[in-house]
Amino acid sequence: MKGPLLLLSALAFATGIVVGAKLSRTWLALTLMGTITALSAALCVLLGAVDWEWRSVFLIGGEPLHFRLDGVSALFLVLLSVIGGAGAFYSRGYWSDHNHLASAPRGRVWWSALLLSMGLVLLSSNGMHFLFAWELFTISAYFLVTLDRKRPKVCAAGWLYLVASHAGTVCLFAFFALLATRTGSWDLGPMREYSGLASLFWLVLVGFGVKAGVFPLHIWVPATYATAPSHVAALVSGVEMGVYGIVRFSGWLPVPESAGWVVIGLGTLGALLGIAFALAQNDFKRLLAYCSVENVGVIMIGLGFALLARSYNDAAWGRLALAGALLHIWNHGAFKALLFFGAGAVSHATGTQEMSRLGGLWHKMPWTAGIFALGSVAVSGLPPLNGFVSEWMIYLGLFDVSLSKSPSAWAAILAAIILATAGALSLASFVKAGTLIFLGAPRTKSAVYARECGIWMRGPMLVLAVVCLGLGLAPIWFWPAIARAVGTWNPAWTTSVPPAPLRTLGLVHFGLAVLLVAAGILLWRKVRANGLRRSLTWDCGYVAPTAKMQYTSGSFGGLAAGWFTWIMKPVLKLRRPRGHFPVESIRLERTPETVLERVFTPLGGIVMQLSMAARRLQHGRLQFYILYVVAGLVALGVLVLMGGKP
């Protein structure tokens, strides 16, 4: 049953690539069919007990085809289908043929290609085909990111994405090649008994870490997500393929002793600094991008403790941490896609991504405002929504570790404190984003003339909002799927009983949600009954407040972001008022991409200089080339004569 479904799905996407440019309705139907069939296949695997595996004698690149859908890949396939389908609908309103005559057809073709290649990455169980699919995925994502290639900013961001991705892919080439030489075949699968493969984990961590946006390797994330069309950003950041790679191969391969510690270290660093950078941003899509860095950090914390638990043979807290991390992958996908859709609706309606140029949009865009607010609650990890459920499970794991009297207790204590701090900072960031965009008075004309997005964009947002609500209010329904993925990652941890009182939490969440809504409505009715009068905002009796007097993005983030200037190094442009009758003063503050500008750009400069130096060897004079050849031959001869093996 699963095989035909997946085949049908692949055929639908492949047909979508062919017909997408011309026939937009057929393309939508095909994409919908492809995502629904893929979703059903993934659910069959997650809720059933058997994996799907398919081998063929048919060779591609000299290797037989080998596909496999197990708990871990099905977990990601579900996310891919939901966001992929929702994004296809969304793009019809957001990137319509009407507004983007040239790029919209191209976007449809590449969207199908992206879904197909991401699906192939998830299914491939052969190293070489995995690399093919991975490369196809990178390239189709590149063409989607640079759909609007007339803007130089978009091209620069796309270029950065391509370079960073390929730097990661180099590591993956090395990884798969070494894996193939050491095991003797390109076939992938559980191989935890080969202890010689442990050191390959570092290549996995760097190669997939670049794609996942693990903290110091996240350099391409902010610029790419900020300039990419929102549905693309939603898919690429919602379905973290880099995280898939790390989860997949840390489950299949043995890992070195220190892997857990390193992953925890990277996770805590990313969670704290990612969200601190998010708070300092002025562009709301950049803020969302940095928030992805934070959430990947949270997932890494959970995964790191799972790795640690596996090396200590201590199942209880490892299972909790892993289950929390895997559930957080779903949760993050749902609310991040929701927020990117909301952000796209705002930028679509106003033409700007600067929070300080917006304001008061709730009036014109009540649906988007409400859905964005819901997403903000979810991403801040607050009850009764889904973000809290997974963070709570990770916390429970951390608390259990800190009770365990092992050296890892120290790491758990530190991680729990950082997680709490990051949670409070993410609350600050999303209060900032939501309120600056939607509340108060419009700060510029573009905010005044905004219009609510159409049904094509609103529908997918509502679907994702329902997913967020469902995951928050009834987490126990989703537990079997998570348990299946946990069991796939480490068969010793297979269990059907949730390690945390998920059912109780779900009931509490449900009751709480009902009461919250009821209380809000009752108070509103009470106020209406008592009498409600509209008046000017109280500003200490000042009668002519203007929109410019409101708090801005810089003033909102300034206080807490000020504690992180040691790493952010904000660039300040200041012109103080001068003279007795000052006419102008300026204060501009910008948070640069510190890691990129201070670390990777200088590093790149050094590489360029070395390459330039090496280039002097190639000058076009034949005599010297002959000299090189002779020198090379002599050196080889000496090597052979010395008795060394050539």
357-416 residues in contact with another protein (CB under 8 A) are 359-360, 362-363, 366, 369, 373, 376-377, 380-383, 388, 392, 395-396, 399-400, 402-403, 405, 409, 413, 416
Pick from 194, 477, 524, 625: which binds another protein (CB under 8 A)?
524
| Strand partners for 60 | 63
Q: How far is CA 448 from CA 305, 438, 547, in A?
A: 49, 11, 11
Q: Binding segment for another protein among 35-43, 73-81, 172-180, 438-446 (CB under 8 A)?
A: 438-446
* Cβ proximity to another protein, 527 vs 571, nearer residue: 527
Give the angle subtended at the CA of 213 by the CAs of 291 and 148, to the nearest 5°. Answer: 80
Q: DSSP characters for 157-189?
A: HHHHHHHHHHHHHHHHHHHHHHHHHHHSSSB-S
Pick from 223, 425, 450, 568: which binds another protein (CB under 8 A)?
425
* Cβ proximity to another protein, 199 vs 537, nearer residue: 537
Q: Binding segment for another protein among 96-104, 131-139, 539-547, 582-590 (CB under 8 A)?
A: 539-547
Q: Which helix (H) or strand (E) holds 569?
A: none
* Cβ proximity to another protein, 51 vs 314, nearer residue: 314
Smallest separation, CB 533 to another protein (Å)? 5
Yes or no: say if 338 and 322 are a contact pair by the CB < 8 Å rule: no
Smallest separation, CB 103 to another protein (Å)? 36
Pick from 497, 536, 606, 612: which binds another protein (CB under 8 A)?
536
Smallest separation, CB 574 to another protein (Å)? 19
Distance CA 639, CA 399 (A): 60
Question: Count of alpha carbons within 13 Å of 569, Cβ hemisphere only?
Answer: 9
Query: Of 230, 447, 468, which Cα lies nearest the Cα of 370?
Result: 468
Q: Binding segment for another protein among 39-47, 151-159, 497-505, 577-585 (CB under 8 A)?
A: 497-505
* 136 binds another protein, rule: CB under 8 A: no
β-strand 52-60 against 586-590: which pairing, if any?
unpaired
* Cβ proximity to another protein, 559 vs 631, nearer residue: 559
- At 192 the three-state DSSP class reads coil
* Cβ proximity to another protein, 449 vs 563, nearer residue: 563
By CB under 8 A, the residues from 547 to 576 that bind another protein are 547, 549-551, 555-556, 558-560, 563
Q: What would you measure as the largest C-alpha separation in the chain, in angstroms?
A: 102
Task: Output phi, psi for 56, to 5 deg.
Answer: -135, 155
* Cβ proximity to another protein, 533 vs 616, nearer residue: 533
By CB under 8 A, the residues from 504 to 523 that bind another protein are 504-505, 508, 512, 515-516, 519-523
Distance CA 139, CA 513 (A): 43
Region of residue 289 (phi > 0: left; psi between -120 and 50: alpha; otherwise: beta): alpha
Query: Of 555, 608, 639, 22, which Cα lies nearest the Cα of 280?
Result: 555
Smallest separation, CB 274 to another protein (Å)? 14
Pick from 417, 607, 631, 635: which binds another protein (CB under 8 A)?
417
